[in-house]
Amino acid sequence: YAWETIKEYQEIKYSYYNGVAKISINRPHVHNAFTPLTVREMSEAMELARQDERVGVVILTGEGGKAFCSGGDQSVRGHGGYVGEDKVPRLNVLDLQMQIRRIPKPVVAMVAGWAIGGGHVLHVVCDLSIAAENARFGQTGPKVGSFDGGFGASYLARVVGQKKAREIWYLCDQYDAQDALQMGLVNKVVPLEKLEETTMEWCAKMLEKSPMALRMLKSAFNAELDGQAGIQELAGNATLLYYLSEEAKEGRDAFVQKRKPDFAKYPKFP
Ligand code: 1HA
Query: What is the SS3 assignment for 135-167?
Result: CEEECCHHHHCCCCCCHHHHHHHHHHCHHHHHH
Say how many Å lie between the CA of residue 174 and the centre of ligand 1.
13
- Binding pocket residue ranges, ligand 1, CB within 6 Å: 30-31, 33, 70-75, 91, 93-94, 114, 116-118, 140-141, 144, 146, 148
Return the pLDDT at 224: 87
Say how many Å lie between the CA of residue 189 and the centre of ligand 1.
23
Residue type, 197: E
Residue 161 is labelled as binding a ligand:
no
Q: What is the ipTM of this complex?
A: 0.99
In this structure, the residue with its CA closest to atom 40 of ligand 1 is 30
Q: Give the whole-angstrom CA distance, residue 150 versus residue 156.
A: 9
In this structure, the residue with its CA closest to atom 23 of ligand 1 is 70
> Quick check: 62 and 22 in contact, CB under 8 A?
no
Say how many Å lie between the CA of residue 185 and the centre of ligand 1.
21
Question: 198-214 burial, b for 16+ CB within 10 Å, e for fewer?
Answer: bbbebbeebbeeebeeb
Greatest alpha-carbon pair distance for the chain in Å reads: 67
In this structure, the residue with its CA closest to atom 30 of ligand 1 is 114
Residue 140 is labelled as binding a ligand:
yes
Among 11, 30, 42, 70, the mutation site with the greatest number of ligand 1 atoms within 8 A of its Cβ is 70
Q: Is 1 exposed, middle or buried (0-12, 13-18, 19+ CB in 10 A)?
A: exposed
Say how many Å lie between the CA of residue 235 and the centre of ligand 1.
39
Q: Give the whole-angstrom CA distance, residue 108 versus residue 140.
A: 23
DSSP annotation of 82 reads E
- Taking each continuous run of H as one helix and of E as one strand, the counts in the chain are 10, 13
Other C-beta atoms within 10 Å of 267: how many? 6
Whole-model pTM: value is 0.98
Return the pLDDT at 125: 98
Local confidence pLDDT in tens for the 270 residues of the chain: 999 999 999 999 999 999 999 999 999 999 999 999 999 999 999 999 999 999 999 999 999 999 999 999 999 999 999 999 999 999 999 999 999 999 999 999 999 999 999 999 999 999 999 999 999 999 999 999 999 999 999 999 999 999 999 999 999 999 999 999 999 999 999 999 999 999 999 999 999 999 999 999 999 999 989 999 999 999 999 999 999 999 999 999 999 999 999 999 999 999
In this structure, the residue with its CA closest to atom 2 of ligand 1 is 118
Say how many Å lie between the CA of residue 201 and the centre of ligand 1.
31
Q: Is 12 exposed, middle or buried (0-12, 13-18, 19+ CB in 10 A)?
A: buried
Q: Can you list the pairs that 180-185 forms with residues at least 24 positions away whose Cβ atoms lie under 8 Å?
A: 180/129, 180/131, 180/135, 180/137, 181/131, 184/159, 184/160, 185/124, 185/129, 185/137, 185/159, 185/160
Helix (H, G, I), strand (E, B) or coil at 43: helix
- Atom in ligand 1 nearest the alpha carbon of residue 75: 58
Say how many Å lie between the CA of residue 105 and the centre of ligand 1.
29
